[in-house]
Structure 1
Amino acid sequence: MKSSASPPPSLPIGQVLACAGLIVTLSMGIRHGFGLWLQPITMERGWSRETFAFALAIQNLAWGVATPFAGMLADRFGAFKVLLTCSALYALGLVTMALATTGLAFTASAGVVLGLAQAGTTYAVVYGVIGRNVPAERRSWAMGVAAAAGSFGQFLMVPVENLLIGSFGWQHALFILGVGALAIVPLAFGLKEAPFAKPTAHDQSIGGAIREAFAYPSFVLLMAGYFVCGFQVVFIGVHMPSYLKDHGLTANVATTALALIGLFNVIGTYAAGSLGQVFPKRYILSTIYLLRSIVIVIFLNVPLSPMSVYVFAATMGVLWLSTVPPTNAVVAQIFGVRHLSMLGGFVFFSHQIGSFLGVWLGGRLYDATGSYDVVWWIAVGLGVFAALVNLPVRETAIARPSAQPA
């Protein structure tokens, strides 16, 4: 039975993809360059790298914890209201991040506030709108388009943020980005759906949807794989600029590397979304995770030079967020779209636990050993683990009693 609480498609596909893509471009693009602030902030404030890394680790954790709740609100009341609120939080977090003078205040702003803001302005919320307004046969492709837009934001924003820091200083650069985050507000109007119908007695409840998902082994396996994704990409994104500087390479090499990750991520995410319409998504995910481990091993074993960094960044960029479209498309394929933002939020929460450990362990083990080597090899081992756990995922729609929504 179709859920009466799920509205019929009410928005043009082109409008949904354009607005969702631009929102993710801003929200993901701004955060992708946070690693550029590590050295200027810690040097001026006299903090250790662990202080900065811990704040961003809390950001990733807060983002993950809040995402299921942001998804619940978006599924129940529409993404529009969630986007408006979290756009304002994003601006507030960037401004207070610039003003923080203690490690605690920095953690509260860069960590908690920005984490809450990202929960309501990134993939989980906008994918719910895409899922409700794009036919199932085009859903994986559409999610790939939105993810590719977010990837382009990473490519676009890193050199912009580096330019802002160089031209205005790191504090004023954050003020400018805070104003930029408010551009999400007008874009949110393009994702304003028709009012949702009130749930009926035949609709699956939020609690029922959560219990069903966590009792289904494939959902747990997807969460395990996404944990690894978070660990790898956030460790690399935050700590690679400092890793390269420690080895004598210039800041421009690090900036170019992050930009290349964003540029090639456009290709990878779009390709993964498109391939998900043709091939089993579990095989796509397993291949991505295995290739990440292989690429890291090669990077660690060749002489470090600007060219080796650029090749690594381009290759890793193809694999960067290419897990996002197939993972969310599998969730929609198994459980339907009624609670997609919420269930996608729980999978993303696992991603953010991995992100927390990746960014925090990067700083913690660097301070303890003077090297990032141990964390690189942890990332390699986790990639092999994720490749294996995605293989048994079942992608078919879950069987439900006729009284529950499809």
Structure 2
Amino acid sequence: MGLRQSLGLFMEPMVRATGATVATFGLAMALQNLAWGIGQPFMGALCDRFGGRLVVIVAAMFYCAGLYLMTIDGQAGLYLGGGLLIGLAVAGTSHGVLVGIVSRIALPSVRATAISILAATGSLGTFVIAPAAQTMIVGWSWSAALVALALLAALMAGVALLFRGDGSTMTASASAPPVKAVEAVAAALGNRAFVITTVAFFACGFQLIFIATHLPNFIGMCGLPPSVGAQAIALIGICNAVGTVLAGYLSQRWGNSNVLALIYLARTLSIGVFFLLPVSVESTLIFAAAMGFLWLSVVPPVSGLINGLFGPANFGALFGVMFLSHQIGAFLGAWLGGLSYQMTGSYATGWISLIVVGVLATILQAVADDTRPRRLQMG
């Protein structure tokens, strides 16, 4: 997660050195998120069936290759490496796979806490890697920094070799056979709470990837040094470690849909205030702290909703379907952000779009009811 969240730092030096445009970089990040979304159901289903070790090892190699290809001058390296390969890599090394593993091996009484810890650790990766990447860009070059990050990505394959007993053979219950992924998805698409949450999840991707991709360039336009962008991304990471754990705790007390609606509302208010106020170092870091507190905090309530309705047996496939909506939003957030800047020289249209989409998501999630009887018990 730290690697992916740091890619926005490379926009300005790559545009300056290679002649690529902001729109080109934005489209590459949009393709990355679309590949992530399309690949997530398949990666999740493979993990459900065969376990996480093989999936993470292959995805780590994709990650390494994708980061290296970004160093090749030209749009092909940016689109193929930064877009397609890294998108598939993140699908196999992030929440859709890892939360599924934790959901199957953790007892129900501690499952939400375990998932919160996992998501918080991903946030800490951003806190460490973003400033390190910025230091390498300044001290070495943007291409050398990408090579270093590629070597770091390859280490994930070694970590995956330590996986043992990731729950891939667990069934729905001792007396019932496991439900096939296709049947699980069909049942989920007939559940009102699942469908509403899936639609609202679009806003999450739209807002967050716009910010991750374009915030460094936006604050640079406002006269702030590149180091502030790295500090902001790092602050997002450290604050999210706290916010994610708190979201897991509140989800158990207030209900998953209610917490999700609150997160969307708080995000949208933070975006609106930042957009309306003059941009300064202080306002940027306060905004980053607020967004960081809410960044990956959706993971515990979303996973809790899926586990509560259908159980953990087919979590990877179900989360993948829901996450596809998130990544369609991410595709549009990254792409339209760059396109609006290219056409108007301003990000104003993008910020306003984030507010509108966030309000709609808040309303949708507020009317979702994840306490209804389960349509099909799957674990």
Question: What band does the TM-score fall into relative to the shorter chain?
Answer: over 0.9
Equivalents in 1 of 2:171, 2:113: separation in Å?
Answer: 30
Residue 253 of structure 1 is matched in structure 2 by 228
Residue 285 of structure 1 is matched in structure 2 by 260
> What is the deviation of 1:283?
1.1
Residue 324 of structure 2 is matched in structure 1 by 349
Structure 2 residue aligned with 1:103, among 75, 80, 89? 75
Equivalents in 2 of 1:405, 1:335: separation in Å?
Answer: 5
Structure 1 residue aligned with 2:17, among 28, 32, 44? 44
**Is residue 119–residue 296 contact of structure 2 (8 Å, CA) maintained in 1?**
yes
> What is the deviation of 1:196?
2.2
- Which amino acid is the alignment partner of residue 68 of structure 2? V
What SS does the corresponding residue of 2:35 show, helix, strand or coil? helix
> What is the deviation of 1:195?
6.4
- Residue deviations 1:219-254, cap 9 Å, x none? 111111211000101101110111011111111121
> What is the deviation of 1:372?
0.3
Which aligned pairs between 1:168-183 and structure 2 lie closer than 5 A? Answer: 168-183=140-155
**Is residue 210–residue 343 contact of structure 1 (8 Å, CA) maintained in 2?**
yes
Structure 1 residue aligned with 2:354, among 372, 379, 385? 379
**Is residue 67–residue 120 contact of structure 1 (8 Å, CA) maintained in 2?**
yes
Residue 79 of structure 1 is matched in structure 2 by 52
- Residue deviations 1:85-141, cap 9 Å, x none? 111111111111112x22133201110011111110000101111111111122122
1:69 aligns to 2:25 (yes or no): no
Equivalents in 1 of 2:49, 2:332: separation in Å?
Answer: 32
Which aligned pairs between 1:227-246 and structure 2 lie closer than 5 A? Answer: 227-246=202-221
Residue 269 of structure 2 is matched in structure 1 by 294
Residue 55 of structure 1 is matched in structure 2 by 28
- Residue deviations 1:255-287, cap 9 Å, x none? 111111111111111110122222211111111
Residue 130 of structure 1 is matched in structure 2 by 102
Unaligned runs of 5+ in 2: none
Equivalents in 2 of 1:297, 1:246: separation in Å?
Answer: 19
1:164 aligns to 2:136 (yes or no): yes
Residue 4 of structure 1 is matched in structure 2 by none
What SS does the corresponding residue of 1:379 show, helix, strand or coil? helix
1:224 aligns to 2:199 (yes or no): yes
Residue 339 of structure 2 is matched in structure 1 by 364
**Is residue 79–residue 129 contact of structure 1 (8 Å, CA) maintained in 2?**
yes
Residue 19 of structure 1 is matched in structure 2 by none
> What is the deviation of 1:197?
6.8
What SS does the corresponding residue of 2:252 show, helix, strand or coil? coil
> What is the deviation of 1:198?
9.1
Equivalents in 2 of 1:279, 1:105: separation in Å?
Answer: 46
Equivalents in 2 of 1:60, 1:279: separation in Å?
Answer: 31
**Cα RMSD for the two superposed structures:** 1.8
Equivalents in 1 of 2:372, 2:112: separation in Å?
Answer: 15
**Is residue 145–residue 273 contact of structure 1 (8 Å, CA) maintained in 2?**
no
Structure 1 residue aligned with 2:183, among 194, 208, 211? 208
What SS does the corresponding residue of 2:205 show, helix, strand or coil? helix
**Is residue 310–residue 374 contact of structure 2 (8 Å, CA) maintained in 1?**
no
| TM-score (normalised: structure 2) | 0.95
Structure 2 residue aligned with 1:312, among 287, 299, 305? 287
**Is residue 38–residue 52 contact of structure 1 (8 Å, CA) maintained in 2?**
yes
Residue 191 of structure 1 is matched in structure 2 by 163
**Is residue 191–residue 375 contact of structure 2 (8 Å, CA) maintained in 1?**
no
**Is residue 335–residue 398 contact of structure 1 (8 Å, CA) maintained in 2?**
no
**Is residue 104–residue 170 contact of structure 2 (8 Å, CA) maintained in 1?**
no
**Is residue 235–residue 362 contact of structure 1 (8 Å, CA) maintained in 2?**
yes
- Residue deviations 1:186-209, cap 9 Å, x none? 322343326627999943222111
Equivalents in 2 of 1:276, 1:387: separation in Å?
Answer: 16
1:151 aligns to 2:123 (yes or no): yes
> What is the deviation of 1:355?
0.5
Equivalents in 1 of 2:369, 2:67: separation in Å?
Answer: 41
Unaligned runs of 5+ in 1: 1-27
Structure 1 residue aligned with 2:8, among 32, 35, 46? 35
**Is residue 49–residue 168 contact of structure 2 (8 Å, CA) maintained in 1?**
no
Identity %: 36
Equivalents in 1 of 2:138, 2:225: separation in Å?
Answer: 14
> What is the deviation of 1:362?
0.5
Q: Which moved more, 1:207-216 or 1:192-201?
A: 192-201
What SS does the corresponding residue of 2:158 show, helix, strand or coil? helix
**Is residue 141–residue 277 contact of structure 1 (8 Å, CA) maintained in 2?**
no
**Is residue 333–residue 397 contact of structure 1 (8 Å, CA) maintained in 2?**
no
When residues 405 and 250 of structure 1 are mapped into structure 2, their CA distance, relative to the original with a 3 A threshold, is closer
Residue 266 of structure 1 is matched in structure 2 by 241
> What is the deviation of 1:392?
2.6
> What is the deviation of 1:396?
3.5
